[in-house]
Structure 1
Amino acid sequence: MKRSIGRAIPSTDSLVIFDACVRSMNFTQAGNALGLTQSAVSRQILDLEQFLNVALFERAGRHLTLTAPGKRYWEEVTPLLEELEAKTIRMQMRHTLQNALNLSVAASFCNRWLIPKLPQFLEQNPRALVNVASRVGPIDLSRTEFDAAIINAPSPPQGVMTKLLFSIRLAAFASPGLLKKKRRLTASDIATLPLLHLTGMPDAWETYLHRMGLDDVRVSAGAHYSLWLLSCEAALAGLGVALLPPELVAEDVKAGRLIRLSQIEIPRNLSYWLAWRETEDNSPALQAFRDWLDSRCPAI
């Protein structure tokens, strides 16, 4: 069989065929998936077994089962094949496009701000490719394949370059159906409505109503949501009033899907930041993306 030159490993072709056989447990089906004959697949597996000096499959007529060594080898080798494929694709993308950007984005910002506006960036940068992964919680860019990340944090993360996008403030929003055509609401009116709570900010409604002038603040119990994204969807569905960053619902307010209940805002000790490794500072895609954010964030 073919083997890697200078390495005590089989060829990737034989490993790919082995993986296909495990997934289908049928040499004919594996061959059909790979464009090979059943005999060619069988021969490759036999050669691989001889190379490893171990039986990978038990054969009973047309029925296949993995041996214990075969199962262990497949579980160890498959992740390496997937990692090799991912890194190869990434290298191909960088070579052909020269403008690929792998971006990790805080979940609520990703769904409610970035994705709806991303077509504008791509229209201005038609050769750019932005790969987006939504994420909850902190990220260590030194341990990931991402070029940059958009996060929310009290202060800029250490060890990376950063750009402040905007500081987070919260205002109250509700669907028109929940308000029953009543647009001018006092703090007492709002306090009687179903209030949607963010799990990580238990004092937010008390602070907001106090800022509106309600001295005897009695916040009603209500549903709790772990993300602004979920609170926003709940408010759009008419489940209650949500405290949200205005930047994340600007289009919903403009379209009349949500109504802002007052001009009161309460600051939170959080901001959205763009963070990137210093080694990526000269990336054309990242530079273009930063410039685009510069043009968008002052307006919001």
Structure 2
Amino acid sequence: MRRFLPSLSALHAFDASVRHLSFTKAAEDMGITQSGISRQIKNLEDFLGLTLFERAGPKLILTEEGARYYDEISRLLDKLEDVSIDAVRGRKAQSMLKIGFPPTLMRRWGAAMLTAFATAHPQTWFEVYPCRHDLDFAASELDLAFVRGTGNWSGARSQLLFDEELIVVGAPKLVPLQGLPSDEALLEYPLIQNSSRPSLWLHWLRGAGVHYKSRIYGPRLPNFDMILECAIGGMGLAVVPELHVRTELAAGILKPALNRLQTSGEGFYLCFPQARMNSANVRIFRDWFATEFTRRRQFLPPAFPLDQK
């Protein structure tokens, strides 16, 4: 008997329409006309005997039946896409090593390390996923991850790679040739703050023994990438992990405001979920990284030439 299945074109149109809640935008996404999308949705509704969308002027509203149908169909479309990609790649996505990296750490440190691994093990395919530093390993499908913290993640084994060291930087037009004369001089400048790590300036000032009586003045930005761009433009001084700012310091587009580094109390760790410690790809990466990191220390950041206090 013939399967009771709608056309794949109709399901594509339905998926795009739900994601955009607009036939016009769905049409742009799929590269067809708006009338083509409307016709596909009408055909799907007639096939199912359901009303999938209600129209309220220019607005498109997913009905309760449409929402239930999409909840199931979206998972099946995802699975169909995975199977098709696996066929093109010649292997299942599940066989790939899944590596987690916070985006800034990946750009500033991870790319060179992963390039070396890919060169050493060209037959071990891996895929990199963005992740947060407070990763929940119990709920994650990652095989390993590089994250910042204090070494305590539930359900994972962690290996300290190096401590996080903070440095205060600014554009050359803000920072005097010899740097600021004292820690207290920081408070005379706008201090760019990281809204995702709001305690960094407090940590720095308290560690330096600076006594401040008023609120810390300066704009708030959501991540280090934005903070560095604005610091380069002269918005103010920024306290950032020294690891993230080496390229800018070497190029001279940022300068150390003070001749010192200060640890944050956290470090960068390589973490392995305990449930995946014995998988073949994890063992390959773990053994390779242990050899490279321990024997040659090639991925340990070199000390920055500042006085550490």
1:80, distance to aligned residue in structure 2 (A): 1.5
Q: Give 2:71's aligned residue.
A: 76
Per the normalisation by structure 1, the TM-score is 0.69
Over 3 Å counting, the alpha-carbon distance change for 1:90 and 1:152 in structure 2 is farther
Q: Give 1:200's aligned residue.
A: 199
Contact kept? 2:150, 2:265, Cα under 8 Å = yes
Contact kept? 1:106, 1:137, Cα under 8 Å = yes
1:108 to 82, 104, 129: 104
Contact kept? 2:151, 2:158, Cα under 8 Å = no
Q: Give 1:16's aligned residue.
A: 8
1:105, distance to aligned residue in structure 2 (A): 2.0
Over 3 Å counting, the alpha-carbon distance change for 1:141 and 1:94 in structure 2 is farther
Q: Deviations over 1:106-153 (max 9, x none)?
A: 243233322465434333333344322323452222223322222222
Mapping 1:260-271, distance limit 5 Å:
260-271=256-267
Per the normalisation by structure 2, the TM-score is 0.67
Report how many aligned residue pairs link the two structures: 267
Equivalent residue of 1:177, what SS? coil
Mapping 1:9-158, distance limit 5 Å:
10=4, 14=6, 16-22=8-14, 23=16, 49=47, 54-55=49-50, 71-72=66-67, 74-85=69-80, 87-88=82-83, 95=91, 100-115=96-111, 118-136=114-132, 138-158=134-154
Over 3 Å counting, the alpha-carbon distance change for 1:152 and 1:234 in structure 2 is same
Is 2:180 the partner of 1:185?
A: yes
Q: Flag structure 1 segments of 5+ consecutive residues without an equivalent.
A: 4-9, 59-64
Q: Flag structure 2 segments of 5+ consecutive residues without an equivalent.
A: 18-22, 54-59, 303-309
Please say which of residues 126-135 and 266-275 is displaced more in the overlay: 126-135
Contact kept? 2:169, 2:255, Cα under 8 Å = yes
Equivalent residue of 2:231, what SS? helix
Q: Give 2:300's aligned residue.
A: 298
Structure 2 letter corresponding to 1:127: Q
Report the aligned-residue RMSD: 4.0
Over 3 Å counting, the alpha-carbon distance change for 1:176 and 1:285 in structure 2 is farther
Contact kept? 2:201, 2:239, Cα under 8 Å = no
Q: How far apart, CA to CA, are the structure 2 residues paired with 1:207 and 1:171? A: 14
2:251 to 255, 276, 291: 255
Equivalent residue of 1:143, what SS? coil
Is 2:175 the partner of 1:173?
A: no
Over 3 Å counting, the alpha-carbon distance change for 1:91 and 1:203 in structure 2 is same
1:168, distance to aligned residue in structure 2 (A): 1.5
Structure 2 letter corresponding to 1:146: L
Structure 2 letter corresponding to 1:201: L
Structure 1 letter corresponding to 2:239: L
1:95, distance to aligned residue in structure 2 (A): 3.1
Q: Deviations over 1:21-40 (max 9, x none)?
A: 43477xxx9xx989xxx9xx
Q: Whose Rg is larger?
A: 1
Contact kept? 1:102, 1:146, Cα under 8 Å = yes
Contact kept? 1:97, 1:127, Cα under 8 Å = no
Q: Deviations over 1:159-193 (max 9, x none)?
A: 212221222221212222332x6234311444423
Identity across the alignment (%): 17
